[in-house]
Amino acid sequence: MDDHARVCIGTAFVAGVLLTLGFKDLVYPELERRVREYQLSQSDSQSDSQSSSPAWSDSPDDALSARPGPPAIAEGIEGCIGNTPLFRIKSLSDATGCEILGKAEFLNGAGQSSKDRVALSMIQIAEEHGILSPHSGDTIYEGTSGSTGISLASLARAKGYLAHICMPSDQAIEKSNLLLKLGAIVDRVPPAPIVEKDNFVNRARALAQAQTASAAQGTGFFADQFENEANWRAHFSGTGPEIYAQCDGRLDAFVAGAGTGGTISGVALFLKPKIPNLHVVLADPQGSGLYNRVRFGVMFDYKEREGTRRRRQVDTIVEGIGINRVTANFEAGKELVDDAVRVTDAQALAMARWLVEKDGLFVGSSSAVNCFAAVKTAMKLGPGHRIVTVLSDSGSRHLSRFWAKAGDVGGAVDTQLEDVLNAQDDQ
């Protein structure tokens, strides 16, 4: 199929989406604008480079019904990103009477997390716009709790860049150790609110600007995962279509946490027009304001009220999700989020232990939050429903903090789901 035919088919598909949305203006007031913008961006940049994302120049329904998976021989580690398995979490499915499916993002091939998709998307778009040029001394700067930095550091080395990562000093030490092994420069900075210049995100931005402004070789590129729309678009064109194809278009709920908001927005923006009755549910840790933003329209958490702010901006042992501001990526799909489930640290720890005990599944803190919220969603919907959630990364990145608190599972074999649901913090 030549390029002209591909563009025509892709345009026809988007036009069909927009026609459908014409009957849903009250439900999706901003969705039409975003789909139009995405169509224009895809028409303007027809790249021949290899990508883990599906080709939107093909007819999506035809392509998605039989996604072939990665080629037998991938082109570098970037060719190993995407097409991750979706599997039935047996213990949770059996206990709830629903089919609870986990999207195994920890099997992505660069940084072994869902952030591989985002990192690759941000780099590719920067290259397409001439911001980054391989082997020129350009440096990628990012403020991250860990996983995005690891993905960026891996891909930076693979594609001919340097990486400089700023992260809060209270994140698990194994993350910064891994970054150093990958050749990144790492700044562990004291936790600070986003309004302060010493916040890890603001520091990364300032360092990128300083390199670009100096006479030193190479550009300083601030990846800006929280506000860069390459984030949600990676999930709109990759994760969402994969889930749709793997489920044959049959699912009742999608559950995910939000740090940057890119995963939940991108997947929702893809799936909702195809499955209008789909329930999109935010999984939110304690201390985050997004739960109240979804449920009550107000960004506020009682633990963050005046005079009670604790050391960390989001007071939780969970890393990677939970925030007290609305980012551009969360904003992109927030009207498609139907409900939210708040998960305490005790509940996340209990769920992580349960998954090891019952399924041999060793996940990180955000994945445990997602699974807990998936169970609550299953119980709310009732037996017979299909729920998909995201297993963002492995527990091996959370040994010194989250799993140190969770402890060893030992010989436990008889934990009941009620024990997980009713878990309480130690006093």
The catalytic residue positions are 115
Entry field: residues in the chain: 427
- Supply the Cα-derived Rg of the chain in whole angstroms: 21
Contact, 325 vs 363, CB < 8 A?
Answer: no
Contact 354, 91 (CB under 8 A): yes
User: Alpha-carbon distance 248 to 254, whole Å?
Assistant: 14
The single-letter code of the amino acid at 193 is: P
Q: Under a CB-based contact definition with an 8 Å cutoff, are residues 356 and 362 in contact?
A: yes
- DSSP-derived letter for residue 97 is S
Strands (E), 92-209: 99-104, 139-143, 162-168, 185-189
State both tokens at 13: 């598909």
Phi, psi of 319 (to 5 degrees): -110, 145
C-alpha pair distances (Å), 73 with each of 68, 80, 85: 13, 9, 18
CB burial of residue 106 (10 Å; 0-12, 13-18, 19+) = buried
User: In this structure, are strands 339-343 and 86-88 parallel, antiparallel, or unpaired?
Assistant: unpaired
Q: Please give the Cα distance from 154 to 265 (Å, whole number).
A: 25
144 vs 167: CA distance, rounded Å? 5
Pairing, β 99-104 against β 86-88: antiparallel
With CA atoms as reference, report the closest residue to 391 among 87, 155, 151.
Answer: 87
